[in-house]
Amino acid sequence: MKNQKLKRTVLFIGIACMMFTCRLYDTHADIYKDGLITTKHEELPVTRNGQRIQFNHPYKLSEGFITNALSAIYYKEKGLFKRKDTLRVFQDEEIKKLVPLIVQAFSVAAPTQVVAVTSYSYRMILSDKRNYCILFIADSSLNIVFGRVHMFQTFNDIMSEKKRYLITRENPAEKRRSSFWKLIPSPGQRLEPGHENWLVIDLSK
């Protein structure tokens, strides 16, 4: 009898610990998905003027603010075969999926975590165009730093990217520009000095 009671007690404690761990993981964690669109928390160091930026996380953002911010992000292509027009980074259907994921991720992000976003737009037969950026709040501003903008990928590329994404972390803040594109600030946005891939949006206005 004593052994049975001891086994039941140990089993109960083990189940309770597992439930607590799962709940903690879900709260702080980590990956939020809608199809191929993914947001997740990443422990990435971001510096400004040689000093590591302190993030003001967690942070409550409205869906309307994020929708307006993403809708107003534009870029221009570089290179021999560039298009002359200013182009939107995110498409409407892409934004609809991204907004609730970003709001949720910011609401539980730790002060050391950025929100990393991977999304795909302009879907064609067995191919997509990939966007990758990190977002964080600092000094009363939303910062959006891009590593990829409309990077063409085949289905096989996407599968290999998913595998690589599990073991590597890209830090767009370590880049300053791309050979293929540059961001074009809209009203209410500005570029981080020395960067063509980093937008700063004032939250106090």
Residues 107-137 pLDDT 10s: 999 999 999 999 887 555 444 678 999 999 9
Cβ-contact 136, 57 below 8 angstroms: yes
| Tens-place pLDDT, residues 26-39 | 334 478 888 778 89
Between 151 and 117, the more confident residue is 117
Query: pLDDT band at residue 9, thresholds of 50, 70 and 90?
Result: low
Q: What is the pTM of this model?
A: 0.77
DSSP for 163-196, please give it. HHHTT----GGG----SSEEEEPPTTEEEPTT-S
Predicted local confidence at residue 128, as pLDDT: 61
Distances in whole angstroms, Cα of residue 2 to Cα of each of 11, 12, 15, 16, 98: 14, 15, 20, 21, 54
The two three-digit tokens of residue 4, written as one number: 């049975």
| Tens-place pLDDT, residues 164-201 | 444 446 899 999 999 889 999 999 999 999 999 999 99
